[in-house]
């Protein structure tokens, strides 16, 4: 699988394309990821899958502030020493705005580049809100 780097800000067409309403979410988004988020604080999830698409690692990073989440190096280290071949990143926006910020776009680009060097695919980065989620892959920003 080839991963393309996000380029610049999400345009309005990409934003519309990238939003997935709750009733159209796949099983991973609706049953594995969505239940992990609460509405008060931003949290980040890293779900790692092996070559057979089995979940091999699941990390949750809770924000120390209500609005920003940083992935600690220990999370990346554990992903690199395991059998992960692909990663899905997900986080929530307690504000209710699903569209990616400049920081979200930069973090996605940096994570994709870092993981690519380690031979791991960043399959998608999802931003959850109450009525659905934004998908970088669906918006063709990844």
Q: Could you report the per-residue pLDDT of 67-96, keeping only the tens digit for each? A: 566 777 888 888 787 889 999 999 999 889
Residue 9 domain-assigned (yes or no):
no
Asked whether the beta carbons of 140 and 108 are under 8 A apart, the reply is: no
Residues 6+ apart with CB under 8 A from 8: 105
Interatomic CA distance for residues 19 and 21, integer angstroms: 6
Residue 33 domain-assigned (yes or no):
yes
More confident residue, 97 or 64: 97
pLDDT of residue 40: 79
- The CATH number for 115's domain is 3.40.140.10
pTM here?
Answer: 0.84
Structural domain harbouring 131: 21-135
pLDDT of residue 138: 94
Note the pLDDT tens digit of each residue in 33-56: 999 998 778 889 999 999 999 999
DSSP classification of residue 22: G
Interatomic CA distance for residues 120 and 45, integer angstroms: 16
């Amino acid at each position: 699988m080839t991963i393309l780097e996000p380029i610049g800000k999400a345009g309005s067409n990409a934003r519309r394309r990238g939003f997935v309403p709750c009733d159209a979410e796949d099983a991973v988004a609706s049953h594995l990821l969505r239940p992990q988020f609460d509405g008060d604080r931003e949290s980040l999830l890293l779900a790692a899958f092996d070559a057979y698409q089995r979940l091999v690692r699941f990390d949750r990073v809770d924000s120390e502030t209500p609005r920003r989440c940083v992935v600690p190096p220990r999370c990346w280290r554990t992903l690199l020493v395991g059998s992960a071949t692909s990663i899905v990143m997900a986080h929530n926006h307690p504000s209710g705005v699903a569209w990616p910020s400049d920081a979200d776009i930069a973090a996605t680009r940096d994570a994709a580049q870092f993981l690519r060097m380690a031979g791991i695919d960043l399959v998608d980065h999802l931003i959850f809100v109450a009525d659905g989620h934004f998908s970088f892959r669906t918006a063709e920003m990844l």
